[in-house]
């Protein structure tokens, strides 16, 4: 299956300045991400991997390591807008499948990327695809920084929330020590799109639920688009948001 992995990368970061160019074992982080996903799974065709950067420094760093990159505008309000411009710069057709991998996830499992792309091919009625995994901790279930998702019978998202959903009416209380059954799902922030929908998405009006929860994917549901969800057997590798995260990842790449 042919698909394109787009990796948005911008230099501005309040917690970790110049994050895409942070050195990990002698290689910029965004290059590590691109190298990680540019592999064949079970003999499948290699995906096309492209970094969508907002600066000449990012583009130069990618090209120095033979990673394809396109220069996008610096004033995009969101990563989705940046990806939409990248689709135009690359001349992708509306039916082409695009997977959005964040530029701060050098430990991402390439098989997860492939699964999200394949899911969109399988669910022709979906405009987007994403992933989730089972929550096995009450603390994680109650954590508002952990986004939860509930599904319908066909594996499409019904809703995403920072609240603990589904709420167990007969077994939940503020001090609950067990999880509902079947177990709740944690959303994994990876998305597949058809390029045509990716071009449409930034033009859709923001949804009230999106603004309340601060979850951009709720805009798609609000406007009637379906999101297919892949259930992963395990949690993804940790991303890099802070200097402490960066140091932990660097340790893994040291000889």
Q: Is residue 251 part of a domain?
A: no
Q: Is residue 252 part of a domain?
A: no
What pairing do the DSSP bridges indicate for beta strands 68-71 and 48-53?
parallel
Q: Which domain holds residue 112?
A: 4-237
Q: Is residue 105 part of a domain?
A: yes
Mean pLDDT, rounded, for 71-100: 92
Mean pLDDT, rounded, for 190-203: 95
Largest CA distance in the chain: 58
Residue 31 has, within 13 A of its CA and on its CB side, a CA count of: 19
Q: Is residue 254 part of a domain?
A: no
pLDDT for res 79: 84
Mean pLDDT, rounded, for 115-122: 94
CB of 56 closer than 8 Å to CB of 71: yes
Confidence tier at 237 by pLDDT (50, 70, 90):
confident
Q: Is residue 17 part of a domain?
A: yes
CB of 107 closer than 8 Å to CB of 13: no
pTM of structure = 0.91
pLDDT for res 229: 98
The tally of domains found in the chain comes to 1
Confidence tier at 147 by pLDDT (50, 70, 90):
very high
Confidence tier at 63 by pLDDT (50, 70, 90):
very high
Q: Say which CATH number the domain at 19 has.
A: 3.90.550.10
Q: Is residue 213 part of a domain?
A: yes
Lowest mean pLDDT among 57-61, 121-125, 215-219, 233-237: 233-237
Q: Is residue 174 part of a domain?
A: yes
Q: Is residue 247 part of a domain?
A: no
Distance CA 239, CA 105 (A): 5
């Amino acid at each position: 299956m042919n698909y394109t992995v787009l990796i948005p990368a911008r230099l501005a970061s309040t917690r970790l300045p110049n994050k895409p160019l942070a050195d990990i074992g002698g290689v910029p982080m965004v290059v590590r991400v691109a190298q990680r996903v540019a592999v064949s799974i079970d003999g499948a065709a290699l995906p096309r991997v492209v970094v969508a950067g907002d600066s000449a420094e990012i583009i130069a760093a990618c090209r120095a390591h033979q990673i394809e990159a396109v220069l996008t505008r610096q004033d995009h309000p969101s990563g989705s807008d940046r990806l939409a411009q990248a689709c135009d710069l690359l001349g992708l057709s509306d039916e082409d499948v695009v997977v959005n991998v964040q530029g701060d996830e050098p430990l991402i499992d390439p098989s997860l990327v492939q699964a999200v792309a394949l899911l969109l091919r399988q669910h022709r009625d979906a405009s987007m695809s994403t992933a989730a995994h089972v929550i096995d901790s009450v603390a994680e279930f109650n954590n508002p920084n952990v986004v939860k998702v509930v599904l319908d019978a066909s594996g499409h998202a019904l809703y995403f929330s920072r609240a603990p959903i589904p709420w167990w009416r007969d077994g939940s209380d503020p001090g609950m020590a067990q999880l509902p059954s079947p177990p709740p799902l944690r959303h994994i922030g990876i998305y597949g799109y058809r390029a045509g929908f990716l071009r449409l998405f930034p033009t859709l009006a923001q949804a009230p639920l999106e603004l309340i929860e601060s979850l951009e994917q709720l805009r798609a549901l609000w406007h009637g688009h379906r999101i297919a969800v892949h259930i992963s057997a395990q949690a993804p590798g940790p991303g890099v948001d802070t200097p402490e995260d960066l140091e932990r990842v660097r340790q893994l790449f040291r000889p």
